[in-house]
Amino acid sequence: MKVIMLPLLCICIALSLTACSEPSTGQTSLSTDRLTSDRVIAAQLSDDATISALLTRKHHLSVWDNDSKSLINEWNESDFIEELYHISLSGNKRLLGTAGKHRVSIFDIQTGKLTVTWQVDGFDPEARITSLHLSHTGNEVLIGLNEGSVFTVDLVNDQMSMFLVHDGPVTRVKYAAHNQQVMSASHDGHVLFWAATTGKVIHEYINQFRITSVSYDEANRKIFVADALDNQFIADSLTTQALSRLDYLERYRYFRQALFVERGKILITSSSKQELASWDVQTGKELAKWNITAFSAGTTVLSMAADSSGTLWSLSSDGALETWAIESLHISRSGL
C-alpha cells in the first residue's frame, strides 16, 4: 500500500431571472440557461455534457437535453418512497439513480418507470446513505454510508457486498479500472482505491481534514484531492507520485468541484460559492479566475463537464446551465 501525506464579493439578491454577477476577470459565458427557478440540492451533468439531472428542494427531479434545453422526463414527490438527497446518472445516460437516507431507486430516463428499488441497511442501525454512483451501464451501483461503509451492488447477478473502508462519512464513490476497483473519499481525510470484490486497499491518499473535492481522470492517470483546510495536491493515480500543488496567495482556499480537461493538462475548480478557476497541472499556477452567473445569494457549482468541442459546461445550485470556451481559460491572469 502506498501513502501520500501532503501537508467582499458583492452579495447578490435576485429580483428576477436577470443575472446579478459577472465574471471577475473578463471570462464571459457562451450561453446561460436557467433550467429551473427552484433551489437545486443535487445535480449532475453527463460525462459528455449532453444531459443534465436536477433535484430541487421542492422534491422535483428532472432530466434535460442540454442542446435543445428541452425536458426529457420528470418526477415529483409522489413518485418516491422517501425524501431524496442524492442522484447519479449511468454513463450511458439510460438510467438515473436516486437515494434518500435509507433507500436507493433507479429510474429509466426515457420511460420514467421505476426499474428497481431497495432498502439499504448498514453495520450501524443508524447508518444513512451519503453518496451514490452508477456504473456506465447502471448495472453496478456503489453506495456510501455515513458510518464509513460502501456497498457494491451487481444488479444483473443479484449480488451485494459491503465493506467498512473508512472511519467517517463516505462523501464520494466511483468505479475505476473497468469496475474492478472502487475510489472512495471520506470525512476521515482518506481517498482510497480498493478492489471491488475483496475490499483490499490498493492505493491510499491521506490529508489532515475531511475531503471536500476529488477529481479522478483515469484516462490521463491524474487525481486531484483537496481537504477542508488548505491541503491539496495533484498526483499520478497509478504510482501515487505527487505531481504538483495549486499555487495561490490566499491562506485558505476551499475547493468544491474539480475537473481535468485538455487531456489532463488543465484543472478546473469551483469554490464554495460563485468562483471558478483554471490551473496548469504541471506547475500548479492559476491561469484564470471568474464567476458563474448568480441568481441568488450563495449559489455554487454542483457539476461540471467538458464536451468534445472544447466547451466547459457548469450547472449551479440556481439551476443555471452555462458554457465556457476552454481555450480562453488557458490565458494567464497576468495577460488579462
- Say whether 276 sits in a helix, a strand or coil: strand
pLDDT at 331: 54
pLDDT at 249: 85
- In the 8-state DSSP scheme, what is residue 110? T
What digits encode the pLDDT tens for the residues 222-262? Answer: 999 999 988 999 999 988 899 999 999 887 788 999 999 99
Which residue carries 469496475 as its cell? 179
User: On the CB side of 53, how many CA atoms lie within 13 Å of its CA?
Assistant: 24
- Say whether 24 sits in a helix, a strand or coil: coil
Listed in sequence order, the residues at least 6 apart from 32 whose beta carbon sits closer than 8 Å to its beta carbon are: 19, 293, 320, 321, 322
Mode of pairing for the β-strands spanning 159-164 and 149-154: antiparallel
- Residue 32: which of 330, 313, 327, 328 has the closest Cα? 313
pLDDT at 252: 78
How many angstroms separate the CA atoms of 99 and 131, rounded?
Answer: 8
Q: What is the CA 212 to chain-centroid distance, rounded?
A: 10
- Cα R_g (the chain), whole angstroms: 19
pLDDT at 26: 53
How many angstroms separate the CA atoms of 261 and 29, rounded?
Answer: 17
CB 97 within 8 A of CB 105: yes
Low-confidence residues of the chain: pLDDT under 70:
1-26, 330-336
